[in-house]
Amino acid sequence: MKRLIHLLKSPFPFSEEACRKWGVIIGVGFFVWFFLAVFQPFGLYDLQMKNKDWFFAGYGLLTSFVLFIMFWLFPKMIPGFFNESNWTLGKHLMWLLIMVFLIGVGNFFYSCLIHVFKCSPRVFLMFQFYTTVIGLFPTIGLTMYSHKTLKAKYSSEAENISKDHSNNVRVKNSPVKEIQLISNSASESDLLIPLHSLYAIASDGNYIRVFLEGKKDIQKKILRKTLKETEDELSGHREILRVHRGYLVNISKIKCVTGNAQGLILHFENPELTIPVSRKFIDSLRNNYNHL
């Protein structure tokens, strides 16, 4: 039981790429139409009606509409819930369950609306059963398989990056570098800090949070400045690298790299701080971290 709970709490990716979302929305709707048109299961073969293919296409369009709501509208309405940093395998499975339930409800009302089936609790339960058989069980299987393969992929990637970095480590006697962060607010003082004390810089709207090495705990400074402006300002320092849309890190301060199903995680000497690496920045991290 503890093992199952731990598995459900493990990180899982929630794609925010528009092309991938539309691929799922259109692809799944097309699959529903194709499956029903070719196999005509659950007594649909014996259904006597004109334009049966258009009838099946309605189920596909309805499925795509529900997926559009789940992929686009809900994440816009409650973005905090769909934040990938908090997204887990358990949340994803619950999300799939709600999605399948809504598709079943839509199928029920669509069939009743065009008078193919009579509206009744028995027919409602029948549609939920059919939708679950067609959609939920294969989807759960694919989700569990994806979780396993992604976790193995990124764990292996993290191990290779750490191994390559340890093989390329050189003892360097370089002068102490300082970086200056200029505030956009006239009422704030600029920050002048030693590069070796900087862990990371995080975006916070029109502000940035600067994480610095302290004697015991991490020191945090807030400055009125966007992360993009900060990235441009520090472009001359090859140690500073963007690894996420919300983070810049000092890659010379990375202690180790680990992986999970969402991607890579950066760890530092202070265990309080961990930084996620977006999947699109993995190649950049590998190239810069191993040639620092």
Out of 92, 121, 153, pick the residue that ends a domain.
153
Same domain, yes or no, for 116 and 14? yes
Tokens for 246?
């919300």
Are 42 and 32 in contact, with CB atoms under 8 Å apart? no
Q: What pLDDT digit, counting tens, does each position of 214-261 carry?
A: 888 899 999 999 999 999 999 888 899 999 999 999 999 999 999 999
**One domain, residues 134 and 183:** no
CA distance 207 to 183: 9
* Domain membership flag for residue 77: yes
Answer yes or no: do 229 and 284 share one domain: yes
Task: Give dist(CA 267, CA 289) in Å, integer.
Answer: 13
The whole-model pTM stands at: 0.79
Q: Is residue 78 part of a domain?
A: yes
CA distance 154 to 285: 13
Distances (CA, A) of 152 to 3, 217, 257, 265, 289: 18, 33, 14, 14, 21
Q: Is residue 233 part of a domain?
A: yes
Task: Read off the pLDDT of each residue in 141-161 and give the average, rounded to a whole number.
Answer: 92
Give the per-residue pLDDT at 262.
92
Are 228 and 272 within one domain? Answer: yes
Query: Which residue in this structure is represented by tokens 């999947």?
Result: 279
Q: Which of 192, 173, 174, 197 is nearest to 182 (CA)?
A: 192
Q: Nearest 5°: phi and psi at 80? A: -60, -35
- Quote the pLDDT of residue 64: 94
- The total of structural domains in the chain comes to 2
Beta bridge partners of 50: none
In-domain check, residue 163: no
Which of 127, 153, 179 lies at the terminal end of a domain, its last residue?
153
Q: Is residue 30 part of a domain?
A: yes
Q: Are residues 117 and 62 in the same domain?
A: yes
Pairing of strands 207-212, 219-224: antiparallel
* pLDDT tops 80 at residue 175: no
Question: 175: which DSSP letter?
Answer: P
- Mean pLDDT of the residues in the chain: 88
Q: Which of 242, 233, 158, 138 is nearest to 200 (CA)?
A: 242
Which of 123, 153, 183 is the C-terminal boundary of a domain? 153
Segment among 23-37, 39-53, 191-205, 257-271 with least mean pLDDT: 39-53
Task: Answer whether residue 159 is part of any domain.
Answer: no
Same structural domain, 274 and 198: yes
Query: Is residue 47 pLDDT above 80, yes or no?
Result: no
Percent pLDDT > 90 in the chain is: 48
CATH number at residue 199: 2.40.50.1020
pLDDT at 169 over 60: no
Residues 17 and 131 in one domain: yes
Are 249 and 112 members of one domain? Answer: no
Alpha-helical segments (H) within the chain = 2-8, 18-39, 52-68, 74-77, 89-113, 121-131, 137-168, 227-233, 282-289
User: Containing H/E element for 279?
Assistant: none
Domain that holds residue 8: 2-153
Question: Is residue 31 domain-shared with residue 122, that is, in the same domain?
Answer: yes
The partner residues of 263 in beta bridges, in order of sequence, read: 260
Q: Quick one: 139 and 193 in the same domain?
A: no
Please tell me whether residues 135 and 184 are part of one structural domain. no
Which helix (DSSP H) or strand (DSSP E) does residue 290 occupy? none
Give the span between the Cα atoms of 269 and 277, in whole angstroms.
17
**Which pLDDT score, from 0 to 100, does residue 157 have?**
92
- 74-83, 114-123, 186-195: which range is least confident on average? 114-123
- Distance, in Å, from the CA atom of 99 to the CA atom of 50, rounded to the nearest integer, reads 30
135 lies in some domain: yes
277, part of any domain: yes
* Domain co-membership, 8 together with 147: yes
